[in-house]
Amino acid sequence: MKTLCSHKPLPDKPDDSPTVGNIFREFGPSFRDTHRLHPRQHKVMYDIEHCRRGEFGTHWEICDNCGHLEKGYNSCRNRHCPGCNNIARRRWVAARIDELLPVSYHHCVFTLPDIFNPLCRFNRRVMYDLLFESASQTLLEFGENPKRLGARIGFYGIFHTWGGKLWLHPHIHFIVTAGGVNTRGQWVEPKYHASFLFPVRALSNVFRAKFLSGLIAAHGKGLLNLPGDLARFETPDVFRQWLFHTVPRDWVVYSKPPFSGPAEVVKYIGRYTHSAAISDNRIICVENDMITFWFKNIRKKCRWETTTLPAMEFINRFLTHVLPKHFHRIRYYGFLANGKAGEQISSIRQALNDRIEQSAETEAPIDHTCQCPACGNGTMMTILVLDGFGNVVKDAGSETEVALGIKAAESP
């Protein structure tokens, strides 16, 4: 097994190295013949297989210096595709930069025990919504408790379902302000904000109680799908007994010391938002129907190591992380809740009598252009975008100029 120090980046991949799209195109037909898929999983496979291959249309770019024209293929924009969503990520990060306050920020992680994985496979929306609700309400209650803080905190959660080897591992990363606003509009900081936000064991106990209470309520309302081996839990008493005797007492709630500054917050959230179950740069090779890829071993100080899976198992694990339609995996709470954030942040900044200055270490503004490959001096500008049916989505120039440019580019 290859290993790599945790602080070192992954080695650069050759341009012709395998991607998730390559794997789906090679092994996808056989996988569909032998596995029963949900329509959402079918769509994810189709989108990734055809991403940047012409199925979703084309776009044309022209150099503002020499007039060089290039034709490119549009991406699928599926949120599960490893090759997409970079622009969406950068826009989201830019919006969060505007909301940063001159206060400390903590990173908390709420993890669902793996004993619930069978229920998650058949009840994704119910289980994942309940995880969000239980974890967020726990943080809000601890903040509003006068013995803890006595103020309304602000935070947002980023939901992930995967571990390093693509096993199902539902958990939420929360970025939480070290402090909140009390009923008088004053900013209140926690007593021990330099080391921790709230006691982890107390958070874990309340989180566990809220989740189990919500799960029992969902079962009583008939919201849980219990096929196959799960059918034994259809009786409420049996389900309660299983929860009481089998579910572990200690749940994982992880709380890090505060970030060193706003720039660190931006760097962190930039890594975790809009990511897929596995990135293409982690895939090393495909040989003899086996996929070898990098993963972080959390039991060995997060060292990068390699593992190998059969292609069918790799695809099966990847599709386990397909989310329900319209499921929001980034959610906002407290004074950062949607619709209230702008007004609340302005009043908090006035209360703090300070304004955060954007750090030089934060991400650069979004740039959709690139250097011209022909002259090396100009910038490639998108002038025409066509969808998969040939309809014009964007036309930045006159129709005549665009048509002449495309005709010239297509000619020998």
Question: What does the pLDDT look like over 140-166, one tens digit per residue?
Answer: 999 999 988 899 999 999 999 999 899
- Mean pLDDT value across residues 200-226: 96
Structure tokens at 164: 């390093």
CA distance 200 to 3: 32
- Work out the average pLDDT over 288-314: 90
pLDDT of residue 395: 64
Percent of the chain predicted with pLDDT > 90: 51
Alpha carbon 250 to chain centroid, angstroms: 26
Q: Is the dihedral of CA 392, 398, 404, 409 positive or negative?
A: negative
Q: 24-42 burial, b for 16+ CB within 10 Å, e for fewer?
A: beebbeebeeeeeeeebbe
The count of residues in the chain is: 412
* Cα gap 241→29, rounded to integer Å: 43
Given a cut of 50, is residue 362 above it in pLDDT? no
Confidence of residue 331 (pLDDT cuts 50, 70, 90): very high
Q: Which residue has the tokens 């903590």?
A: 106
- Mode of pairing for the β-strands spanning 69-73 and 3-4: unpaired
Average pLDDT score over residue span 381-396: 81
Least confidently predicted of 6-10, 142-146, 239-243, 278-282: 6-10
Specify the pTM.
0.86
Mean pLDDT of 335-360: 72
- Give pLDDT, residue 364: 46
- Is 342 exposed, middle or buried, given 0-12, 13-18 or 19+ CB atoms closer than 10 A? exposed
Distance CA 273, CA 369 (A): 22
Comparing CA positions, the residue from 93, 36, 14, 34 lying closest to residue 275 is: 93
Residue 283: strand, helix, or coil: strand
The answer to whether the beta carbons of residues 346 and 101 sit under 8 Å apart is: no
Where do the H-state alpha helices sit in 100-199? 117-122, 124-144
Q: Give the mean pLDDT of 60-69.
A: 88
pLDDT tens string 265-294: 877 877 778 889 999 999 999 999 999 999
| Residue scoring higher pLDDT (319 or 350) | 319
What is the Rg, in whole angstroms, of the alpha carbon atoms belonging to the chain? 24
pLDDT at position 3, please? 66
CB 268 within 8 A of CB 107: yes
CA dist., res. 86 & res. 88, Å (int): 5
Is 406 strand, coil or helix? Answer: helix
Residues in contact with 353: Cβ distance below 8 Å, sequence separation at least 6, in sequence order: none
pLDDT for position 355: 42
What are the structural domain ranges in the chain? 86-288+323-352
Q: What is the separation of C-alpha 194 from the centre of its chain, rounded to a whole number of angstroms?
A: 28
pLDDT tens digits for range 394-408: 765 544 344 434 434
Q: Tell me how far apart the terminal alpha carbons of the chain are, to the nearest angstrom.
A: 50
